[in-house]
Amino acid sequence: MGPIVFCTVVCGIAGMGDVKKLGRVSAKTLLYFELVSTLSLVVGLVGGHLLRPGIGYRLTSASLDVSDIAQYASGAHKQNAVDILKHVVPETFASAFVGGNLLQVLLVSVIAGAALVTIGERGRMVSDLVLQP
């Protein structure tokens, strides 16, 4: 899936051709993403509040594995915002694809597409290679 996402994003960004146009589209895309994410969050919270999923589920302490819960909680507490941002940036170009982390592939794709737009005609051969069907 990584190569498909990479080629699609690079083609879309490289096809813009203008850095200013790329900036405007990027700002609109970020705004759209934030609005849709917020709407999704609100719908999920309202739906959870109204439907009350899990309300009839009887959970007993005997059925819980305390060590699994403690391990999960300690792992969640160890990650802070800096660790999350470090995880988004791949160690190498290839590790984004090998690891299967789609967010890393997306970051590499955006950087590659922006680089192709920035260098213009000098990157035409690479751009044409990615655009080939």
Helix axes 81-88, 102-119, angle to 10 degrees: 60
Average pLDDT over residues 7-33: 84
pLDDT in tens, 67-93: 877 887 777 677 788 887 888 889 998
Span 49-70, pLDDT tens digits: 999 998 888 877 777 778 877 8
pLDDT-derived band of residue 46, with 50, 70 and 90 as boundaries? Answer: very high
Q: Which residue has the higher pLDDT, 42 or 86?
A: 42
**pLDDT category of residue 45 using cuts at 50, 70 and 90:** very high
Pick the closest to residue 103 from 87, 115, 83, 92 (CA basis).
87
The Cβ of residue 15 has, within 10 Å, a number of other Cβ atoms equal to 13
pLDDT at 48: 96
Distances (CA, A) of 38 to 33, 34, 35, 41, 67: 8, 6, 5, 5, 35
Phi, psi (deg, nearest 5) at residue 59: -105, 125
Q: How far apart, in whole angstroms, are the C-alpha atoms of residue 109 and residue 13?
A: 9
User: From the CB of residue 8, how many other CB atoms can be counted at a distance below 10 Å?
Assistant: 13
Taking the model in full, what pTM does it have? 0.64
Instruction: Kindly state the average pLDDT of the residues 92-104.
Output: 89
